[in-house]
Amino acid sequence: FFVALAREPDPMLQEMGFAATTAYNYAGHRARKHGSPLRATYDDMVEGYEQVWQRMTAPGCLPYIVPVSPGWDSRPWYGAQAFVRTGSTPEKFADMCRRARRHVDPRLNMVLAECWNEFGEGSYIEPCEETGFGHLRAMRETFAPHAETHSESAVPDGNEKVAFTFRAIPPQRTDGALGRQEGNLVPDPGMEEGTGWTTYTGVPCKFLGGDAHAGRQSLLVKRGTGCKTQNPMPVSKGRAYRVSAWVKCAPGGSLLARLAWFDKRNRWTKQYDQVETCRSPDWTRVSKEIVVMDPEVGAVSFEFVASGANAQVDDVAMVNTREAKPPQVVLDADCTTGDDWLTFAGGTPACGTSPDGAGHVLLAARQGMKTRRSVPVKPGEVLGFRVRMQCDPLASVSIRSAGFDADGRWIEGTYFGGEIYSWQDWREIVGVVRIPQDTAARSINLECTATGGAVRVSQARIERDAVE
């Protein structure tokens, strides 16, 4: 029978032919009740799950396969921008399982555990050194308390662990020397081999024979979908690259060409850089020069997204063009006294001393601060920022820039950036501020806002790229 993924009852599901409902997880439900956008407790997660279970098992709903989860911690993938459920233990997971049992549909008698080994998202029940068989034991004692005794002898001993270990596979295509090499870094740039490109769902891309800018075929991007390079291309800090492609669209369609940034471990940084949007039915070249300012960036992926109609892509290029000078610091906000900062209420924020002896500015929960000074910008410019900060266990900090007109007046509602970060150790956060081409802003500041707990900032800078 067919099972639908849902978090709310929907009468249409039965009309569409679904016989039951379930879900992958509800990790973000009730996230902000006792936390911040990036940090919340596992206890609240359990309460949130039960709220959804109650809705999905109300009278008149389809049969429900109850989902349970041991936790969520995606820091292996997203670092300081990861969402984390704190305080998860096998004992608390057992409590979730006991609550879930009350909502099991007797017609199905099924529970869905998410996940077996999703280590990158911190959601796993597979036995491991951290918790042993704790999560499996919690499920067994809850859902099969009268089962025969079993052995937990599957844990490998020291010799077995050594026998099954191997050298770590190096991050793919992110070596600094690769990013400095000459020539086109794009695999199969002319689409002649039909390899090196994939859809967002991992399905191999389709190619159109007999219709190309050059050669025998071009990449087909179907309406409402996207295609990207299968492996990110290496880049190096301090280098500039010219990216380009020949594209065309069917009538009524548009094609967005953009770049996705990856760190040195090939993890997506959640950052995009728009190259250009094309609406022409004729072959048109889109192009842009990029400069790598973030030292944590190791690779970039070329992506194409079609809207309204199918589109085609051919002769894609990414060429190492020049080397940049060290970035110029255009704003360096003093965090020793806090005199370079203003709270949103207009006062000077409190200050303290960091464990390393450096001074820091202290932000209480729900408090924000902004630099007294702004720096001039140009439309289309990309600047970098560095903020050294440390968060309380459930705290997050939002970092953004406000835009000001040529007379230095704030343009109401104009903000750039706004990414959210959380890290309990002192950590330097490096990011970029992208100034749109169509903005009236001629200068920007730097702003930090704390939620869920206190945040400490010991360094804040804005940098501008300088090229040879």
Q: Does residue 237 register a pLDDT over 50?
A: yes
Does 466 score more than 60 pLDDT?
A: no
Give the range among 33-37, 126-130, 227-231, 458-462 with minimum mean pLDDT: 33-37
Residue 302 shares a structural domain with residue 204: yes
Q: Are residues 21 and 124 in the same domain?
A: yes
Residue 88 lies in a domain: yes
Domain total in the chain:
3
Flag whether 328 is in a domain. Answer: no
Beta carbons of 13 and 21 less than 8 angstroms apart = yes
- The CA-atom distances, in angstroms, between 215 and each of 48, 109, 143, 212, 322 are 56, 58, 61, 6, 29
Which pLDDT score is estimated for 346? 79
* Domain-located, residue 329: no
pLDDT band at 202 (very low <50, low <70, confident <90, very high): confident
Residue in 248, 389, 218, 398 with CA at minimum distance from that of residue 311: 248
Residue 235 inside a domain? The answer is: yes
How do residues 122-163 score in pLDDT, each as one tens digit?
Answer: 999 998 888 889 999 999 999 998 887 777 766 666 665 555
Does 294 reside within a domain? yes
Residue 180 and residue 313 share a domain: yes
Q: Are residues 249 and 358 in the same domain?
A: no
Interstrand relation of 20-22 and 3-5 (parallel, antiparallel or unpaired): parallel
Segment 249-278 shows an average pLDDT of 87
Q: Residue 247: is its pLDDT beyond 90?
A: yes
Look up residue 81 and give its two tokens: 């921008």
pLDDT of residue 167: 46
Residues 341 and 316 in one domain: no
Residue 43, pLDDT score? 92
End of a domain among 281, 303, 323?
A: 323
In this structure, the answer to whether residues 225 and 97 fall within a common structural domain is no
With bands split at pLDDT 50, 70 and 90, how would you rate the model's confidence at 324?
low
Q: Domain check: are 294 and 406 in the same one? A: no
pLDDT of residue 248: 95
Looking at residue 105, its pLDDT comes to: 92
Q: Do both 135 and 263 map to the same domain?
A: no
If one compares 349 and 118, the residue with the highest pLDDT of the two is 118
- Non-local (6+) Cβ contacts of 159 within 8 A are none
Average pLDDT over residues 187-210: 86
* pLDDT grade for 168, boundaries at 50, 70 and 90: very low
Q: Are residues 236 and 318 in the same domain?
A: yes
Which among 100, 132, 163 is the end of a domain?
163
pLDDT at position 176 is 43
Q: What's the mean pLDDT in 397-421?
A: 92
**How sure is the predictor about 281, in pLDDT bands with cuts at 50, 70 and 90?**
very high
What is the rounded distance in angstroms from the CA atom of residue 426 to the CA atom of residue 219? 45
Instruction: Confirm whether 284 is domain-assigned.
Output: yes
Q: Is the peptide bond before 115 cis (omega within 30 degrees of 0)?
A: yes
The predicted structure's pLDDT at residue 383: 86
Q: What is residue 467's predicted lDDT score, i.e. its pLDDT?
A: 44
Q: What pLDDT is stored for residue 162 in this prediction?
A: 54
pLDDT digits (tens, 9 = 90+) for 33-90: 666 788 889 999 999 999 999 999 998 899 999 999 999 998 887 777 788 999 999 9
Query: Same domain, yes or no, for 13 and 135?
Result: yes
Let me know: does 240 contact 290? Beta carbons within 8 Å: yes
Domain boundary among 323, 358, 392: 323
| CATH at 441 | 2.60.120.260
pLDDT at 140 (0 to 100):
93
When the pLDDT of each residue in the chain is averaged and rounded to a whole number, the result is: 86
- Is residue 169 one of the residues assigned to a domain? no
pLDDT exceeds 90 at position 311: yes
pLDDT band, very low/low/confident/very high, at 100 (cuts 50, 70, 90): very high
What is the predicted pLDDT for the residue at 240?
A: 84
Residue 203, in any domain of the structure: yes
Give residue 468's pLDDT band: very low, low, confident or very high (50, 70, 90). Answer: very low
> Do residue 268 and residue 381 come from a single domain?
no
Q: Which residues pair with 383 in a beta bridge?
A: 433, 464
Looking at residue 98, its pLDDT comes to 96
Q: Check whether residue 273 and residue 366 sit in a common domain.
A: no
What pLDDT is attached to residue 166?
43
Range of the domain at 15: 3-163
The percent of residues in the chain predicted with pLDDT above 90, rounded, is 47
d(CA 194, CA 182): 23
Residue 4 is predicted with a pLDDT of 94
Provide the pLDDT confidence category of residue 429 given band limits of 50, 70 and 90. Answer: confident
Contacts of 449 (CB under 8 A, 6+ apart): 344, 363, 366, 367, 368, 369, 397, 398, 400
Predicted confidence band at 357 (pLDDT cuts at 50, 70, 90)? low
Give the pLDDT score at 182. 62
CA–CA distance, 113 with 65 (Å, rounded to integer)? 10
Please check whether residue 20 is in contact with residue 63, taking contact to mean a CB–CB distance below 8 angstroms. Answer: yes
pTM over 0.75: no
